Every structure is written in C-alpha cells, then in structure tokens.
Amino acid sequence: TATGRVGPYEKEYIRKDGSRWWMIVAGASLGDGTIIEYCIDITDRKRAEREVLESKYYAESIIETLHEPLLVLTPDYEVVSANPAFYRHFKVDPSAILGRKIYALGNQQWDIPALRRLLEDVLPTNKAFDEFEMEHTFEHIGTRTMLVNARRLDHVQLILLGLRDITERKRLENEARAANRELRVANKALERANIDLQYFSYAVSHDLQESLRMVTCYTQLLARDYGADLDREAGQYIDY
C-alpha cells in the first residue's frame, strides 16, 4: 500500500463571527489505511509577522520623507534600502549600492576603521552612536565632512544609518575662528599703539613744559636786568 504526505501548508480560516485564524495543516498516509493529520494554530505568529511588516512599511515611509541621507543595513552591513535624499546627495543610483556592503561602496569611502568598530556594536549590544564625525573625499561630490548616526531598528535585525553633511558649517566655523584670530591680533596691535601714544603724549607734554619753563625764566631775567631800559610796549610784552 502506498504511503504519502500532504503539506505542510498554511491556511487562513474565517469564523462565523468574522474573526480569522491561521493554521498549519499537514497529513500523512502510513500505508495501512491509517491517515494522520495535524493542525497547528499559528495565528499569533502571523499577527506578529504582520505587525513587523507594517512597522517596516511605516519606517520606510518615514525614511522616504526625511531630508537627510539614510541607509538601512543588514547584520552583514549590506545596503537593503536608501532614501531619495541619499541618492540625491551622493549622486548615485540604487543599482550602485543596493545589495552591496557599505564598506565596498564607491571608492571604499565608508571603509573607515573607527566607523567599522561603531557599526559592529550596534546590533550585538543594541548600542546606538551619534555625531561620529568623518571627513572623506567622496567619489562624485568631493571632500565632505559628515556626521554619522546609527541605531538598531525596533524589533528587527537592521541598522538605520543617518548622515548629515556639515561641510558648510565647518567652513563657516573655520572662517569665524580665523576672523577671531585676526581680531585678537588687531586688538593687541591697537593696545600697543595706545601705549606708544601715551608715551609720546607724556614725552611731548614734558618737553613743552620744559620749554615754557625756560622761556618764563629768561623773560623774568630780562625784566629784572633790563626792565629799566625797555620802553612801555616792550614791558607789556614781557608782562604778557
């Protein structure tokens, strides 16, 4: 007598009240006319799978709308998703990154030892990192300074990697620091000029006072020794 098996297969059932449940159904013929069938209720598992899928779609919809470049990585650090901002910012097509490890993208611009160490801790320890600063010459956009953030996506073994280009901000900060240095140098030069001016004013004032003192002395001597010989107008000049 032939033996055989049926299934297992999943099937959804609908109760009279409209509720649904899922079963795994399988059967086997033992060859002696005996047929064994079994069913396993997998409703909870299917519900959990649906919730995970809905969460994934929800997360992807949020990622799609964000203005900052984002990547989603597998535990092997392969790119499974990227948002439009990533493609625009780095000037790449999906075919150039999807399914490839992040460390192999472009000119291996992401293969940075410090970044590797941080990423390798995200899933095993559920440890996020924020504001990791990296500077690199990227294939299509040149030298950029980026801030990198990463964390595990809830309930799934995936890494969300966020990027923020702060090149312009760094340029402005450097220019501000350079301007502050120049201002400090100018202030010190002005302080030195003020000190020199004070010394000069003191010297001029002293010299003028000494000259006036000498003129006064000579005038007094002239009035004492020759005052009787001077006419009225000359006397007025001396008194003045």
Write the pLDDT tens digit of every residue in 44-83: 888 888 877 776 666 666 666 677 899 989 889 999 889 9
Provide the pLDDT for residue 2. Answer: 47
Q: Is the dihedral of CA 4, 14, 17, 39 positive or negative?
A: positive
Return d(Cα 40, Cα 26) in angstroms, integer: 9
- Cα distances from 28 to residues 10, 11, 22, 40, 55, in angstroms, run 16, 17, 20, 15, 38
* pLDDT on residue 237: 64
> Which amino acid, one-letter code, is at 52?
V
Mapping DSSP onto H, E and C, the string for 150-164 reads EEECCCCCCEEEEEE
The reported pLDDT for the residue numbered 15 is 84
Low-confidence stretches of the chain (pLDDT < 50) are 1-2
pLDDT at 165: 92
Provide the pLDDT for residue 240: 61
Residue 150: the pLDDT is 92
pLDDT at 1: 40
| Beta carbons of 70 and 160 less than 8 angstroms apart | yes
Task: Strands of 49-126 (E only): list them.
Answer: 70-73, 79-82
Q: Pull the structure tokens for residue 166.
A: 């702060």
Contact 153, 160 (CB under 8 A): yes
What is the pLDDT, as a whole number, of residue 158? 86
> Helix (H, G, I), strand (E, B), or coil: what is residue 227?
helix
pTM of the model: 0.55
- 40 contacts: CB under 8 Å, gap ≥ 6: 23, 24
Could you tell me the CA-to-CA distances from 238 to 100, 208, 220, 226, 235 in Å, in that order? Answer: 105, 20, 8, 11, 5
